[in-house]
């Protein structure tokens, strides 16, 4: 194995991905269950001025928005200078949350099929209210009870040694365009004994989750990130013995997952990525929030002078069914719908994914691998001279070439009603594509291997989770 999971575990992940339904919790009962969760968990969210924030204030020298406890997160100003890309310098607000949180999913086998325990949870920034999240989704401040609430349910499986068997444990970066070096543990554990399933939690196979991922704004960003870890990198076909996808695209994914090589070898791809990291630079400098060039600080918003970017706002939240009944906090507001798009193509008979080496100021590494196109301001760029490479393939693509199409939200605990259109589009076999220097074709197996080593960014991981082996 090139990944950190054994062959038996890899096979259990794949069998789960091909299990479209389950007697443990049939999907036919999901709508009624979800509606019950909506009735039991409710949030009222309203915009407020910064001065009305409870326990948050603008600290001086340099000016930044912080919590009274000194924990949770802060919103700070940042100046960026780089020698890569069309824009070489800019200033922006950024979320500084240095603590490492836990995004953990409990799994268990029922009748030989692995199921995953997801939770229905509402966050203040969610578009559709309730969403499916990992079993445990908690910052260090949350599980150390800085908020004064209850300990997250099932956190003992991730915090107490010996309570569960770890299948996957990886440290992944969050959105480098909005977070400063923010990382979370993405963990999948196996529990082999009975335990009570609390209200608001549900056992699902990966195949069931794959179907729910076709429903807009239902499976949240953190769950998608963790579930990308269930795409193991395989050395051979042993783990696939006896497994077959029901559809042609799923079969192509399985073939690509076990392919021994692609257009380029893994060594060549590593040389390419490390070469980009060696050749380019990025310099970061802290800037007071009230002195950011190109930004306006108003009573209720820190906004860009143009409308092309995000802004910082404040909200007051009243909750039913949460650890804390009321709080206020800053959120990042995006005015438009973004795009997270992936091109795929059969090359030499093997399905390849077109990945992009991305540079974002908040990431520890200068370059990570991401989707073909990921932009928050795609509407104004369509047809423009400075449009990102390959954007034209995602503007009204032929329906017969679309392999996945759904609106998905970003994390509702930090983003206010921000969503992107997730698209997977297959190019005709043999269609020539000119690749810029920061793009490469990779097999599913190669991308999964890079993901194991933490080289795939949040946008890329989220699209990996949406690849449907049952299609």
Task: Give the single-character DSSP code of 61.
Answer: T
Task: Give the single-character DSSP code of 366.
Answer: S
Q: Could you give the count of Cα atoms lying within 13 Å of 432 in the half-sphere of its Cβ?
A: 1
Provide the pairing of β-strand 201-204 with 113-122: antiparallel
Flag whether pLDDT at 269 surpasses 90: yes
Contact 432, 209 (CB under 8 A): no
Q: How far apart are CA 272 and CA 457, in angstroms?
A: 17
- Per residue in 62-119, pLDDT tens? 999 999 988 889 999 999 999 999 999 999 999 999 889 999 999 999 999 999 999 9
Contact 17, 103 (CB under 8 A): no
- Per residue in 199-227, pLDDT tens? 999 999 999 999 999 999 999 999 999 99
Torsions phi, psi for 56 (to 5 deg): -120, 145
Contacts of 392 (CB under 8 A, 6+ apart): none
**Cα–chain center distance at 121:** 16
Task: Give the pLDDT confidence score for residue 3 in this predicted structure.
Answer: 40
- Per residue in 18-60, pLDDT tens? 999 999 999 999 999 999 999 999 999 999 999 999 999 999 9
Q: Which of 228, 226, 212 is nearest to 33 (CA)?
A: 212
* Residues 429, 433, 439: CA angle, nearest 5 degrees: 115
Domains of the chain: 7-44+98-243 (3.90.79.40), 46-96+284-333 (no CATH), 257-282+335-466 (3.90.79.40)
Torsions phi, psi for 280 (to 5 deg): -115, 165
Instruction: Give residue 2's pLDDT band: very low, low, confident or very high (50, 70, 90).
Output: very low
What percent of the chain stands above pLDDT 70?
94
Task: Give the single-character DSSP code of 456.
Answer: B
First-residue to last-residue Cα distance in the chain: 26
Q: How far apart are CA 452 and CA 211, in angstroms?
A: 24
């Amino acid at each position: 194995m090139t990944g950190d999971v054994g062959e038996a575990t890899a096979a259990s992940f794949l069998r789960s991905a091909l299990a479209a339904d389950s007697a443990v919790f049939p999907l036919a009962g999901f709508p009624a269950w979800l509606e019950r969760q909506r009735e039991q968990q409710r949030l009222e969210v309203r915009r407020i001025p910064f001065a009305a924030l409870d326990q948050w204030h603008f600290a001086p020298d340099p000016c930044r928005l912080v919590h009274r406890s000194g924990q949770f997160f802060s919103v700070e100003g940042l100046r960026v200078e780089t020698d890569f890309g069309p824009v070489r310098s800019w200033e922006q607000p950024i979320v500084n949350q240095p603590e490492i949180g836990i995004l953990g999913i409990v799994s268990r086998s029922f009748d030989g099929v692995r199921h995953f325990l997801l939770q229905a949870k509402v966050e203040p920034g969610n578009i559709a209210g309730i969403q499916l999240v990992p079993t445990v989704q908690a910052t260090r401040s949350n599980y150390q009870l800085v908020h004064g609430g209850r300990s997250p349910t099932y956190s003992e499986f991730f915090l107490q040694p010996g309570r569960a068997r770890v299948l996957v444990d990886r440290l992944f970066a969050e959105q480098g365009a909005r977070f400063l070096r923010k990382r979370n543990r993405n963990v999948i554990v196996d529990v082999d004994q009975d335990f009570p399933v609390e209200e608001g939690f549900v056992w699902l196979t990966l195949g069931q989750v794959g179907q729910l991922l076709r429903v807009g704004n239902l499976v949240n960003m953190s769950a998608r990130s963790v579930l990308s870890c269930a795409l193991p990198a395989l050395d051979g076909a042993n783990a696939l013995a006896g497994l077959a996808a029901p559809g042609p695209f799923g079969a192509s994914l399985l073939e690509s997952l076990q392919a021994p090589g692609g257009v380029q070898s893994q060594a060549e791809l590593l040389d390419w990525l490390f070469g980009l990291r060696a050749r380019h630079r990025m310099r970061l400098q802290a800037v007071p929030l009230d002195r950011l060039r190109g930004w306006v600080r108003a009573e209720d918003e820190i906004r860009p002078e143009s409308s092309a970017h995000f802004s910082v706002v404040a909200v007051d939240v009243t909750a039913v069914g949460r650890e804390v009944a009321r709080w206020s906090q800053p959120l990042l507001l995006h005015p438009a719908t973004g795009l997270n798009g992936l091109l795929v193509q059969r090359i030499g008979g093997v399905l390849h994914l077109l990945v992009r080496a991305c540079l974002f100021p908040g990431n520890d590494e200068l370059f990570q691998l991401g989707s073909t196109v990921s932009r928050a301001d795609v509407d104004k760029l369509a047809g423009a001279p400075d449009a990102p490479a390959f954007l034209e393939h995602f503007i009204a693509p032929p329906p017969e070439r679309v392999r996945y199409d759904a609106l998905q939200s970003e994390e509702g605990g930090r983003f206010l009603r921000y969503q992107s259109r997730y698209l997977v589009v297959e190019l005709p076999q043999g269609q020539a594509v000119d690749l810029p220097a920061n793009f490469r074709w990779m097999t599913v197996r190669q991308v999964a291997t890079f993901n194991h080593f933490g080289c795939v960014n949040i946008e890329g991981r989220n699209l990996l989770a949406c690849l449907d082996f049952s299609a």
